[in-house]
Amino acid sequence: MDEYSRFVDWDKMDVSAQSQDMKELTCTDFHELKQLARQGYWAKNHSLRAKVYHKLISNIPCRTVTPDANVYRDIVVKIIGKRNSSSLPLPEFVDNSLIPTYCLNAEGVGAIRKIILCISNQFPDISFCPALPSVIALLLHYSKDEAECFEQVCRILACNDPSKRLIDQTFLAFESSCMTFGDLVNKYCQAAHKLMVAVSEDVLEVYSDWQRWLFGELPMAYIARVFDVFLVEGYKVLYRVALALLKFFHKVRAGQPMESDSIQQDIRAFVRDIAKSVSPERLLEKAFAIRLFSRKEIQLLQMANEKALQQKGITVKQKSSVIQNLLNYCFSMFCVVFLRQNVHLAVHAENFKSEIVSVKEMRDIWSWIPERFALCQPLLLFTTLEHGCSLSRFYSHSEGHEPTLLLIKTTAKEVCGAYLSTDWSERRRGGNKLSFFGTGECFVFRLQPEVERYEWVIIKHPELASAGSETENHAQPGSSTLSSSSIPSDPSDRLSPFLAARHFNLPSKTASMFMAGSSECIIVGGGDGQALYLDADLNHGRTSHCNTFNNQPLCSESFQISILEVWGFRD
């Protein structure tokens, strides 16, 4: 049909969806290009899409020495020889990934392996890249020959713009992206996350499939539309689409029995057959309706997850067949098992004892916390039953631990609490005044009479700082809290919702904070207008809330504390 049809099996393609109208793409403005990509401007013309891909990939900033088409022509014969490409073993970094054919003809299917092997020869630093076969198969559709496809893939892999992340090429990057996706699901797909926790023994293992949903299971017409936007907007688009897939899976399958013994297999099957329920346009519409945090903030979360993995010694996927690395392998496998443990393993029934929550309730809480801390086990730091009702002792036992978990049982048998992201020692920065700190990972929750987790709401630093330690001024809703829908749209005007400013030298003068502490009281910003206040004697507390989403209050507006516990996280 055109000069880019060499590897396409048109009998398998939906030709009716292709337009013969010859369009041109002349715009260079990023925002206009982004809108055109999202609208599918070049999606219905095979030749135009090929030209647009070539233009976009050619503009990717790359290393000084990046293999091109001529390199491929020089090395392919030496590497492949006269062997049948279908019998060639793939490099280990593709991790036995699916090799989608995407309506390619026999020559195209054979070219995938040849290009992978040549990339392996030119990129010895790639250690883990399961998305690569899918990317190559897709780009073969829009390449004149193998050499051109090789050059385009090499440019994507060799991108050296630190702000433009494209494809994961190490096990550390891949695994931290899975943890980051899990964190995003926990925040943006809470109903689906609740289902995953209920039916899966290993939630992170389910979320570790997220790239496979896109680069493997998603049909050609869908991944091509995703790739259109990905080349313009970058990695964040992949998170958006994967979240949208999970939302649709939950919507379509909610209340229905599982089709297999594994939720992983059910999600994969749903994505493969997504055309039965969702169009590509509807999928992208859903993806871009999710109001994700900024690219910078997601990058910070990814960095935190990478750091957590490095501290656990999980940086590579070891090969069990290498005898000389047996000891390293054993250690690594221990770490991987530890990483992929479910909440049942993190909260051991025989080792866990709380006077406020059961093992099951603690496991529910554990499923809400950020992935990098789900690697840890709970450690009791403070309890009023043993240490008394003293705020100073509360601080002395809690300081030095980050994060912490606050659990409260009232005399009315209500149970609520808060996940607190930052060390309480940060309060000292304000001297004797009420001091504000924390991150957007803080949240409050209720376990009794009903389970409810509330998304964070902000304690606005400038307002409270001027009030000093006059705690009564903070007791009224609206004076000390700000709905999450009121966050400034400019990321530079607020603290990352995930990480403290001190970790990354971010500006904090106008940052929105989430925890407050002094010698007189504690304040924790909650969600949907919820906020929790505790007095210095740790006998009394109160809440403020607004019924923005008809949520039930955290607990009674004024309550007496029966038991209070603080838990830390033990490696």
Q: For 279, left (φ over 0), alpha (ψ -120 to 50), or beta?
A: beta
Residue 332 has a pLDDT of 40
User: Residues in the chain, how many?
Assistant: 571
Residue 317 has a pLDDT of 64
- Quote the pTM value: 0.77
Residue 266 has a pLDDT of 93
CA distance 157 to 294: 23
Residue 198 has a pLDDT of 82
CA distance 359 to 377: 12
User: Across-strand partners of 404?
Assistant: 420
CA distance 154 to 148: 10
Phi, psi (deg, nearest 5) at residue 103: 60, 30
Could you tell me which of 179, 82, 69 has the C-alpha nearest to residue 122?
69
- Helix, strand, coil percentages (3-state) for the chain, rounded to 5, are 45, 15, 40
Could you tell me which of 185, 192, 227, 188 has the C-alpha nearest to residue 208?
185
The CB-based long-range contact list for 331-334 (8 Å cut-off, 24+ gap) reads none
Residue 21 has a pLDDT of 63
CA distance 547 to 177: 35
Q: Which two tokens stand for residue 219?
A: 């049909």
Residue with tokens 């009674």: 556
Q: Which stretches in the chain have pLDDT values below 50?
A: 320-345, 457-512, 527-528, 546-550
- Which of the 8 DSSP states describes residue 208? T
Residue 436 has a pLDDT of 77
pLDDT digits (tens, 9 = 90+) for 206-231: 999 999 999 999 999 999 999 999 99
Residue 354 has a pLDDT of 92
Q: Is 492 helix (H, G, I), strand (E, B) or coil?
A: helix
